[in-house]
Amino acid sequence: MPTKREQIDAAMKHLRAGDPIIKELIRRVGPFRMKLRRDRFQALVRAIVSQQISTAAAREVLRRLNELVAKEGLTSEVICRLDTESLRSVGLSRQKASYLRDLAEKTREGQLRLNRLGRLSDEQAIEEMTTVKGVGRWTAQMLLMFSLGRLDVLPHDDFGIRSAIRNLYELDELPDASTSQRIAEPWRPYATVACWYLWRSHEL
């Protein structure tokens, strides 16, 4: 069985050979350094908090949330004990507070079995995660990429990915799903790695 390092090396070789634009982006950005978040509950909390707000704003809300639960840690049991106003005090909207509570309750009660997601296909895992209020396809894909380490995920609904494709491939407007899929075809089966570089392209 190949190691993760061997898989990444294979991905880099594949992407460089298959797409000259990604090859140049890899040269400019440098080595692939995506770190996985092993705690799946915390990874979903992070993804929910990050919905439709800036990275800086999400980071601040997460910092305040971790401060709030510092004594016991960010777990489903702790979130279940917090009321909506406590969650809102860290900067969450009422809607997102309800999403976190639903996530915590479904996790605690075993309706969402985070420990078995790794045994499911990407689509099966997405189907299971999207039973939680506020967890749509994009949120589930973030967990696939950043927690489960799935190597062939293309989150087309992500604005950063779509805008990077528009900029790098010199499109007149943001790509629709079919255009993104067509451009990403040479990346398969390593779309996750290519997407990590697309996100980094905004920092160049």
Which residues, 6+ apart, have CB-to-CB distance to 142 below 8 Å? 43, 47, 50, 155
Which residues, 6+ apart, have CB-to-CB distance to 23 below 8 Å? 15, 16, 17
Q: 85 phi and psi, to 5 degrees?
A: -65, -35
Chain centroid to CA 173: 24
At 34, which amino acid appears? M
Residue 79 tokens, joined: 């979130």
Count of other CB atoms within 10 angstroms of residue 87: 22
Of the residues 39, 122, 157, 158, only one is catalytic, namely 158
Quote the CA–CA distance of 141 and 126 in Å, as a whole number.
7
Query: Is-catalytic flag, 152?
Result: no
Residue 66 tokens, joined: 């971790």
Which residues, 6+ apart, have CB-to-CB distance to 101 below 8 Å? 79, 80, 82, 84, 87
Quote the CA–CA distance of 155 and 137 in Å, as a whole number.
8
Residue 13 tokens, joined: 């070789």
Catalytically active residues are 158
